[in-house]
Structure 1
Amino acid sequence: MPWVAALAALTALRLVIAAVAPLAPDEAYYWVWSRDLQGGYLDHPPMVAVFIRAGTLLVGENALGVRLMGPLALALGSVLLARAAEDLLPGRRAGPWAAALFNATLLAGVGAVTMTPDTPLLVFWTCALWALARVQRTGDGRWWLAVGLFAGLALASKYTAVLFGAGVVVWLLLDSSARRWFARWHLWAGGAVAVLAFAPVIAWNAAHGWASFAKQGGRAGSGDVGQALRFLGELIGGQVALATPLVFLFCAAGAAAAAWAWWRTRDDGALLLAALVLPGAALFLWQATGSRVQGNWPAVLYPAAAIAGAGLLQGRAWLRLRVPALALGGAMTAAVYIQAIAAPLPLPRRSDPTLARLGGWDAFAAEVAAAADRNGAAFVAAEEYGLASVLAFRMPAGRVVVAMDPRWRLFTLPAPAPGVTGLLVRSERRGEGPPLWPGAEPLTGLEGRLVRSRRGVEAEAYRLHRVTPALGQPPAVVLPRPGA
């Protein structure tokens, strides 16, 4: 099939981009997780660490190893998304177009070449959607076991996956033919499988004072009307950009069309799609009235929305708009790829997220190593977990990198040796307050400041301090190094 060949070519391109694009601090942080595998972490469940560990075991501890599973898993997810579309909207030839619309988003295009918890989340969410479509199409209750497995693995990737379960419940309650599953063992067995898949995360939280559940459950906020309007504007504008404008239009209109199709014709497949999009969308819009919603959080809504957009918008105008939607999405994604790798546009940090996250790390790590040598430092340290992790990934071999932050007490990494002098690297964005490290002595003059830049454009500036580990200081650990 031509679309499968196109997907294979796109996956090959993504693997090349994954290999050559610089690693971001968050990715390096998740790589540290992969070297200290646990049932959970403060920020997220552990699946991203499992993906990274698998990739680095296959091709080594390099950028491709960290990201390897992303392009491959999203290719599989795209095939299953197409199959789900054929099951839910038979006869509409929606499968290839649904997969294409989803892959045309920046969320998928950038998510495929960077490794974050959203990557396994999207993959397992799509797998669960496919298994649920099998339930709806075949009526075979055994597919509920697959739904439970994939939903549980999605939840072990990121807590946002709870929205999948909520959508399933909405579908079961509203669809008169689906309600029969409440009386059958298959549904409950699938739920048990989901709990088993998620059990390591529950066990880890129980052993660590429910730290991760408390952190992720405490994101609610409140604000005045002005703040609410600003947050809503950021959410909607961010989605238009991250989904790309025409694909966002397809997805939003498709979700509305799914709800309308069920209301008018009681289309069971359309109801399932609407249930997996609209409640989550309403939740994010409500949350944005009180606190900022990060642009990547609604990513889980797009697989079902892409199916709805491809299968339910069959008018002539919509059909003519498909190719421009894919072209615009591809062009926007390509522009991000090129800027991340080659930076042909000398954009400032505020206008270029690739500069802030990816720019100049190799040269900066070399400068930090040289500063450590000049000051006789036995180790390099950082308070920011991302900065510490990216230095651990990029510093020359044999260097000791120390991280200091309360989150590290939840890891099983070793503490630094007391009584030796190190060099603390601290971003100027943290302000002029004192470092967390007790007794930190700032270096003066030009020796005390380093700048990370890309092609002469400043990404970030840092201050250097001499520090010495001591008993009773805030938690600090020695981070793993590639190959060590």
Structure 2
Amino acid sequence: MAAALMPWLLALAALTLLRLWLAAILPLAPDEAYYWVWSSGLQGGYLDHPPMVAIFIRAGTLLAGETPLGVRLLGPLSLALGSLLLMRAAEDLFPGRRAGPWAAALLNATLLAGVGAIAMTPDTPLLFFWTATIWALARLHATGDGRWWLVAGLLAGLALASKYTAALLGLGILFWLLADPAMRRWLLRWQPWAGGVLAMLAFAPVIAWNAANGWASFAKQGGRAGDGDGDVGDALRYLGELIGAQVGLATPLVFLLCVAGAAAAARQWWRGRDAAALLLAALILPGAAIFLWQATGSRVQGNWPAILYPAAAIAAAALLAAPRWMRLRVPALVLGGAMTGAVYLQAAAAPLPLPRGADPTLARLAGWDAFLGDVEAAAAAQGAAFVAAEEYGLASVLAFGLPPGRVVVAMDGRWQHFSLPTPPAGVTGLLVRSERRGEWPPNWPGAEPIPGEDGRLVRRRGGVTAEAYRLWRVVPAPGQPPAAVLPRSGGG
């Protein structure tokens, strides 16, 4: 068995090295820089998400410095470890079928995993701890040892401390317990309950932070669901967007295999009361139904269902034994690898001069180094005591990338949930503002536009415009909207 696994392990190692290299050479996207700000002041929670992404970044920067690689270090490494755990889980759930390597390969062939391994977002730790929880539950299924409930509970709690959608993991486990007669016997034993206690202890800092901050994060994320107006046209559009995003982000053939695998898991449990198949169905179908329901009233971001794919990949690898499905495995890996490789190549070298609307890598990653140099030159020319931005992502990029010593100020209500100093009064700063925010005045009271070409900067890659910005003179004053001085990267 070990010899048979060697090609898969070598491929995983090579892929991980490629991802680490890309993580090192690509500039941070605005959201990544924002999460880096979180890591500079660890808390029990934040307005947007629980704190695990900040903990991942803090660990990475302690090992590799405050660099793009440091921020992203645990992304490729956690996906590599998660892939090994997924392989083991598939073997424990369906021994003898050699489904593990195929399950891990299918997951790695998706854009969701391939791009998510490089971009450090809350989905990065979420996907790892979700997969690790499946591994612990598979160990429980294979061994019957109740102590694995404790491991599963702790890992599920860490998933919930990564992103609130991990509540679907608890829902799936509960369904598994209640729906299978053999599993219901565990309800009379202490281990599942102790596992639940461990999960809540792991999540307790998030609850405490919300309690101290007016339940701000719970209210913000809870308000995402069910906010549609019931319009049929909107519902159909949102549903189409969600399904289309999954076809693209999972890659078409992997998506087809995962959907068929989920259906096979449900069918196998219904016909044979197979507890392993039920576990997979419970971790896929309720979540899929909730995302589809939510799409009838509001837009569902394409990355949110990423958590469904580890279990779906196992189902596709273990339960689709018919030749017509088996023949799709290699083409699925080839197509997924080609699509992911194309994104990697475009992000790193941009061989195609695509416009912003057709190239997400242009909008998020392109031209930051030259742009930061232009901002610093403009600040020096204006004699600015600080550089400011209203957009939290842009402000965070400035804080991470401008030279050491340059004060960076952010103006946004979210910063009131951080313990950050306020900008000094009575000094003049330079506000950088995207033209995409329109022609209306900045939120900063009394902002004065800098006229002419001196007041406009463009971020580009290879002559293609990623974004244009206007510059304004600003002065802090009492009574203005909340503003904060952001922490700075040690490396500038």
TM bucket (normalised to shorter chain) is: over 0.9
**Greater displacement, 428-437 / 270-279:** 428-437
Question: Contact between 1:359 and 1:452, CA under 8 Å: does it hold in 2?
Answer: yes
Alignment of 1:34-433 (within 5 A): 34-220=39-225, 221-223=227-229, 224-433=231-440
Taking the aligned partners of 1:22 and 1:424, their CA distance within structure 2 comes to: 22
Q: Which residue of 2 aligns with 1:443?
A: 450
Q: Which amino acid aligns with 1:37?
A: L
Q: Which structure 2 residue ranges, 5 or more long, are not aligned?
A: 1-5
Question: Contact between 1:364 and 1:452, CA under 8 Å: does it hold in 2?
Answer: yes
Deviation of 1:34 (Å): 0.4
Deviation of 1:2 (Å): 2.1
Taking the aligned partners of 2:454 and 2:13, their CA distance within structure 1 comes to: 50
Q: Which residue of 2 aligns with 1:11?
A: 16
Q: Which amino acid aligns with 1:222?
A: G
Taking the aligned partners of 1:114 and 1:348, their CA distance within structure 2 comes to: 21
Question: Contact between 1:168 and 1:272, CA under 8 Å: does it hold in 2?
Answer: yes
Q: Which amino acid aligns with 2:86?
A: L
Q: Which amino acid aligns with 1:307?
A: I
Deviation of 1:431 (Å): 1.2
Q: Secondary structure at the match of 1:177?
A: helix
TM-score of the two chains, using structure 2 as the length reference:
0.97
Taking the aligned partners of 2:76 and 2:343, their CA distance within structure 1 comes to: 16
Taking the aligned partners of 1:102 and 1:443, their CA distance within structure 2 comes to: 50
Taking the aligned partners of 2:156 and 2:270, their CA distance within structure 1 comes to: 27
Q: Secondary structure at the match of 1:462?
A: strand
Q: Which structure 1 residue ranges, 5 or more long, are not aligned?
A: none
**Greater displacement, 214-223 / 104-113:** 214-223
Deviation of 1:265 (Å): 1.1
Q: Secondary structure at the match of 2:259?
A: helix
Residues 279-327 of structure 1 show CA distances to partners (whole Å, capped at 9, x for unaligned) of: 0000000000000000000000000000000000011121111111001
Taking the aligned partners of 1:21 and 1:314, their CA distance within structure 2 comes to: 40
Deviation of 1:397 (Å): 2.3
Taking the aligned partners of 1:56 and 1:192, their CA distance within structure 2 comes to: 31
Question: Contact between 1:22 and 1:341, CA under 8 Å: does it hold in 2?
Answer: no
Q: Which residue of 1 aligns with 2:3?
A: none
Question: Contact between 1:231 and 1:292, CA under 8 Å: does it hold in 2?
Answer: yes
Taking the aligned partners of 2:441 and 2:217, their CA distance within structure 1 comes to: 28
Taking the aligned partners of 2:453 and 2:194, their CA distance within structure 1 comes to: 65
Q: Which amino acid aligns with 1:437?
A: W
Quick one: which of 21, 26, 29 aligns to 2:31? 26
Taking the aligned partners of 1:482 and 1:8, their CA distance within structure 2 comes to: 30
Deviation of 1:396 (Å): 2.0
Taking the aligned partners of 2:88 and 2:168, their CA distance within structure 1 comes to: 22
Moved beyond 4 Å, runs of 4+: none
Q: Secondary structure at the match of 2:228?
A: coil
Deviation of 1:449 (Å): 1.3
- 1:481 counterpart = 2:488: yes
Q: Secondary structure at the match of 1:482?
A: coil
Taking the aligned partners of 1:394 and 1:332, their CA distance within structure 2 comes to: 30
Q: Which amino acid aligns with 1:10?
A: L
Taking the aligned partners of 2:425 and 2:27, their CA distance within structure 1 comes to: 33
Q: Secondary structure at the match of 2:328?
A: helix
Residues 126-185 of structure 1 show CA distances to partners (whole Å, capped at 9, x for unaligned) of: 011110111122111110000110000000000010000000111111111000111111
Taking the aligned partners of 1:273 and 1:286, their CA distance within structure 2 comes to: 20
Q: Percent identity?
A: 77
Taking the aligned partners of 1:396 and 1:335, their CA distance within structure 2 comes to: 33
Deviation of 1:263 (Å): 1.0
Q: How many residues align?
A: 484
TM-score of the two chains, using structure 1 as the length reference:
0.99
Q: Which residue of 2 aligns with 1:457?
A: 464
